[in-house]
Amino acid sequence: MDAPASDAISSATAPVVLVSGATGGMGAAVVEELARSDATVVLLGRNAARLERTREQIDARTGGAGRLVTYETDINDTASVDTAVAALTAELGRVDGLVHTAGDGPMAPLEETTDDMWQATFNGKLLGAVRLTRAVARPMAAAGGGSVVLVSGIFRKDPDPLFPVNSAVNAAVAAFAKAVSKDLGRSGIRVNVIDPGAVRTPLWDEIAKALGDRTGATAEEVTAQVAGQTPLGTLAAPADVARLVAFLLSPAARHIAGTAITLDGGATAGL
C-alpha cells in the first residue's frame, strides 16, 4: 500500500536521496550518515510504523540534522515503486540519489533451497534494484544526472555453498549495474555497487546463530571466527558501509561508475 510522503521538504540545495530497506541495519545507518550531511533522505519500506519509528530514532540521534521523509512502498511491486518515485519527485522537486539496501536471501545449501526462496530473493534484491533504478532514471536525467548505489554482498565475488541464492543474486546485481551504467552514464547517472562482507547488524546476529546451530558453536564464537579470518580482525560496522555510500553519492566520486567495490576488511582472497 502506498502512502503520501511525510515531513515534505522544499530545499533548493539539499540533495534528495531515496533509501530502500531503510529500517534495516545498513539502511538505517545510510539514512543517518546522509542526514548528518544535511541531505533530504526518503526512507522507503513496507511498514509505515517501522519507518516512522526509525525516522524518529535517527532524528533524535542526529539532533534533527538533515530532513527525513518516510514513504510506504513495496519494492516487489512495479506500480508501487513507480507511484512512489513519481509522487516524491513531484513533492520534493527532484531525485539526486538512490541507495538500494533491501533484499535478504536465505542461508541454505542447494538441496535445502526452494523455488520460493530463489524467487523471493531475486524479486526483492535484483528486481527491486531494477524497478527502483528504472523509476529514478527519468527524473535524474531530467535534472542533469544523479547517483545510484546498490548495496549487494561479498558472495558476488566469493560464492559460498551455504548461500547459493545470495551468491547468484549478488552476481546478477553487479551485472545489472555494469550494463545500465553504460546507458545511464550518458545522462549523467552513475550506477555503482558496494559488496560488504560480514557487517555487525541484527541480521548478522541471526546468521551467526544459524551458522552456530549447524556447527555446534555459539553465535559469539562464529562471530569471533569470522572476524579472525579478516586481516583487520573485525567485522564491518554499518557506519563503514554508510560512509562509502555517502562518498559514492557525492561529487567527489564523479568519475566512478559501473564499479563494484568490496568492503570486507581484506577477507576475500581473490583479486
What is the structure's pLDDT at 1? 37
Distance of CA 70 to the CA centre of its chain: 16
In whole angstroms, give the CA distance from residue 108 to residue 60: 38
Q: Given phi > 0 = left and psi -120 to 50 = alpha, else beta, which region is 260?
A: beta
Q: Are 34 and 62 within 8 A, CB to CB?
A: no
What is the structure's pLDDT at 9? 35
**127-143 vs 78-92: helix crossing angle, rounded to 10:** 30
What is the structure's pLDDT at 164? 97
SS3 label, residue 81:
helix
In whole angstroms, give the CA distance from residue 34 to residue 269: 32
In whole angstroms, give the CA distance from residue 221 to residue 9: 46
Q: Which residue has the cell 516487489?
A: 76
**Joined grid coordinates for residue 84:** 512512489
What is the structure's pLDDT at 271? 76
| Per-residue b or e along 21-52, where b marks 16 or more CB atoms closer than 10 Å to that residue's CB | bbbbbbbbbbbbbbbbeebbbbbbbbeeebbb
Q: Which structural domains are found in the chain, ordered by start?
A: 16-197+237-263 (3.40.50.720), 200-235 (no CATH)
SS3 label, residue 156:
helix
Question: How far, CA to CA in Å, does 149 sit from each of 53, 152, 247?
Answer: 24, 9, 10
In whole angstroms, give the CA distance from residue 51 to residue 35: 15
Written as tens digits, the pLDDT of the chain (271 aa) is 344 444 333 344 789 999 999 999 999 999 999 999 999 999 999 999 999 999 999 999 999 999 999 999 999 999 999 999 999 999 999 999 999 999 889 999 999 999 999 999 999 999 999 999 999 999 999 999 999 999 999 999 999 999 999 999 999 999 999 999 999 999 999 999 999 999 999 999 999 999 999 999 999 999 999 999 999 999 999 999 999 999 999 999 999 999 999 999 999 987 7
Q: Closest Cα partner for 233 from 195, 194, 198, 271?
A: 198
